[in-house]
Amino acid sequence: MKNYSRYYFLLFVLMFTFGCKSKVANTTKKSASTEKPNILIIHVDDLGYHDLSVNGSKIYQTPNIDALSKQSVVFDNAYANYPRCVPSRFAMMTGNYPVQNGDVPDDGFEMNNVKDNKNFVKNIKAAGYQTAYFGKWHLGSEESLKDFGYDFSFAAGHAGSPISFLYPFNEKKGKGANKKSPIPDVDAVSKAGDYLMDVMTDNVAKYITNADKSKPFMAMFSFYAVHQPLEAKEKDIKRNKEEIKNFDYGNLPEYINEGTGRTKMRQDNPTYAAMVETMDENVGKLLQILKDLKIDDNTIVILSSDHGGLSNDGTNKRHLATSNYPLRAGKGWLYDGGIKVPLMVKWNGKFQPKTDKKSIVMLMDVFPTVLDIAANKNLETNGKSFLPLLQNKETWDDRMVFWHSSKARPVNTGDTKSSAIRKGDYKLINWYEEGRTELYNIALDPSETQDLSEKMPETTTRLLTKLNDWKSKF
């Protein structure tokens, strides 16, 4: 009997031991399946690089984004692929330069025929992600979002800007006939007194809160702000009027001549200031939601803008929103005021906060990076994953990138047709129909005031040749 007792005792110990190991293994497997981070992309419309107080604005107060930057990898040489909305957004969503058959997509463009093996959103979805899009799409209909791979969308479609930021949002305030597409969904969930930015943010927060907890989400929130129409809450306009009235601009002129029009040199529009600050408040709300849900440590937050701020007019003198000074020019232009954008990426405990002052990155790199993180996968596109930069493994200080702006608007923003190349510290802009070229050392002259094309003819010729070689492929 003793032998049998000992036998059963040993059998019990072995079964218990292996059973525990099996249970531990299963638990580990379950944990591994939930390790993929959530991804929240916040994309602001028409926000200039210097529209953030962390980047030097003395008028606009953006404490929430400033705090986010301190927790992020911040790219000081981040660029939009185009200085206007549709081509810039096309580049970001497809990971490609916005040049097709020698031309660029423009208003009325329909996003279609993106093959699955070239579609970042569908590949992210295939990696187990829930996908959602909120706000300005401007690349087609609501249906095109579904075709592109988004499970869910809210207030997204053809509209490039709202008819109004004030409820009811699809009714024009002021004079003139409405010529804009309506924004879907928003009026049905709003009431008198509501402000569009707040309504949008509340619905992003609702989605994040109610998302399926068994799998990660990838959500993109594209603000309609701070694009025109310039409309804000009265209390915020009043506060900024007082601040601007008491601000000393010194000898800085209000405008200087540029192209076929003017460049605004002062950030002195109280309504625009109020819009920027409300946008920042709403970014803060979303960051707080992530903390309240205890998912902020496992959520990557990416914040960017589609191009520079509206600081230039043309032959048609228009009401301008902001100034990108000390950067030169703004929306519509290939000077840095038109294409340099804020770009910051936060992942608590994974990406060490820092400012990368050397690497050159583009908006077309964002989704290659997201897919790399989500699925350890790359697609064959012009953009490339900057995950090695986030992990301190590489520096892209000698990267060569290009722009081609064939949709100039000399009447509205004062620019004429041009192309550009940047390689390392040097940037060349070529006004190809005018036969005019300028060369700048961006590291030494970020305001692009010292044209080096005559002093450095060999560099000018070399970069112009590379630019024309690139353009010949389209």
CB atoms within 10 A of CB 255: 17
Residue 34's pLDDT is what?
A: 52
CA–CA separation, 321 vs 40, rounded Å?
28
Residue 189's pLDDT is what?
A: 97
Between 270-292 and 234-245, two packed helices, what is the crossing angle to 10 degrees?
Answer: 120
* CATH architecture assigned to 417-474: 2-Layer Sandwich (3.30)
Residue 112's pLDDT is what?
A: 82
Structure tokens at 222: 């594209």
pLDDT mean by block of 10 residues, the chain; 474 residues: 43 42 36 73 98 98 98 98 97 94 82 89 97 97 94 96 97 84 96 98 98 97 97 98 96 96 98 98 98 98 98 95 98 98 98 98 98 96 97 98 96 97 98 97 98 98 98 92
Range(s) within the chain of domains with CATH label 3.40.720.10 = 36-392
Residue 53's pLDDT is what?
A: 98
Q: Could you say which of 1.10.510.10, 3.40.720.10, 3.30.390.50, 2.40.30.200 is the CATH number of the domain covering 36-392?
A: 3.40.720.10
- The answer to whether 446 and 364 have CB atoms below 8 angstroms apart is no
Report CA 171 to chain centroid distance, whole Å. Answer: 28
Residue 427's pLDDT is what?
A: 98
Range(s) within the chain of domains with CATH label 3.30.1120.10 = 417-474
